[in-house]
Amino acid sequence: MGAARAKLLVTSWNTVRYELLNTRICDLGLKLEGSPLEPLIRQVEGELAAKGLGFRPVFYLTDSWGCPDEVPAVGIPFYLADRRLMRIEEEQTGELEDTRATLMYLRHEVGHAVNYAYRLWERPGWVEAFGRFSKPYRDVFLPDPSSRDFVRHLVHSQYGRNYAQKHPDEDFAETFAVWLMPRSGWQRKYRFWPAMRKLQFVARLMRSLRKVAPPVEDAGGLLNPVTAIAVTLAQHYGQRADRYRAAAQGYVDDKLRGVFPRPRGSGHIQAAGFIHRHRQRLAESIQRWSGLEPEEVMTILDKLEDRSRVLRLRLPKSRGAERVIELTSLATSLAKDFAYTGRFTG
């Protein structure tokens, strides 16, 4: 590709991006039909059919993943319905669900919808398997990353693979997702885990629902449908950025500045590059002391590397060994916060 054509494409994208960011989300004309989401939704519906379930939840576009409280409907982030918005999402947040992650989220949320459609928490055995559905729902909880009483499905940005421990409703949805996923091998993977009894309970419960119409089919009360989101795309990301900074960056940034104080003199190297070069060594130490899964440890290291780059932190070449020790201590501390409280604490 010639330099002139490449420049033209960049200019064209910047124009499109500017126009999209300054458009209200409700005016973007987004819909599931014909979008990249449609074949994935059809795939999950096919998985339900293969299990003999006649229930199909309502799928709709909103601002985040989720099901409205006790409503058998699955909310999907609107940006996944348009490849241009997917590109902006990745530019703005550095993250974007791939096909595999999207399917995992869909199966999880369908689990909630099935629970709500059939009011399964009222059925015999549900409370014994998962706990009280009426248990208070808290954003902060104390997971045990080594527990085998729960399946491990979603990799949540805050809670790693411990999301089933958050609430009985989440425990059911995660267990359902593992049961629903084709070729998940749950009979083998969980055969020595106490979580197997939950999977077996779900399998029995779903067999009893074959050809049974759900008592709750009304998908009224949708939460933040895309047609009602009147802020511009730029405002949406501004609000998300504010919440993100308030939740995490302050503490992480302060601690990183403590590890990488402003150096004097010459002979400096970039802290982000330093973290990148030592990430395997750091990952091994963090995983050993925190109990997190490897991909969760890498998420934390990505966070530290990204924030170091944004803050333009540097360190003297001669202090590398010392900084590795301090960085290992910081990252392990963050990993323990991540594992046991579901957040970075200060």
User: What pLDDT does 341 receive?
Assistant: 43
Low-confidence ranges of the chain (pLDDT < 70): 1-11, 139-142, 156-160, 217-219, 240-251, 265, 291-292, 335-346
- Looking at the DSSP bridge assignments, the partners of residue 210 are none
Residue 188 burial by Cβ neighbours in a 10 Å radius (0-12, 13-18, 19+):
exposed
pLDDT at position 113 is 96
**Cα-based angle 231, 236, 242 (whole degrees, multiple of 5):** 130
List, for residues 185-244, the tens digit of each pLDDT value: 999 999 999 999 999 999 999 999 998 888 876 667 788 999 999 999 999 988 765 554
User: Smallest Cα–Cα separation from 36: which of 67, 79, 90?
Assistant: 79
Q: Calculate Rg over the CA atoms of the chain.
A: 23
**Secondary structure (DSSP) of 174-242:** HHHHHHHSTT--HHHHTTTSTTHHHHHHHHHHHHHTTT---S-----S-SS-GGG--SBHHHHHHHHHH
DSSP label at 37?
A: T
Residues with Cβ within 8 Å of residue 161, at least 6 apart in sequence = 145, 152, 153, 154, 155, 293, 296
Domain ranges of the chain: 3-228, 240-341
- Is the separation of the CB atoms in 246 and 149 below 8 Å? no
Residue found under tokens 């990249």: 36
pLDDT at 340: 46
Q: Are strands 314-316 and 58-62 parallel, antiparallel or unpaired?
A: unpaired
Predicted pLDDT of residue 219: 63
- What confidence score (pLDDT) does residue 244 get? 46
Please give the pLDDT value at position 156.
67
Length of the chain: 346
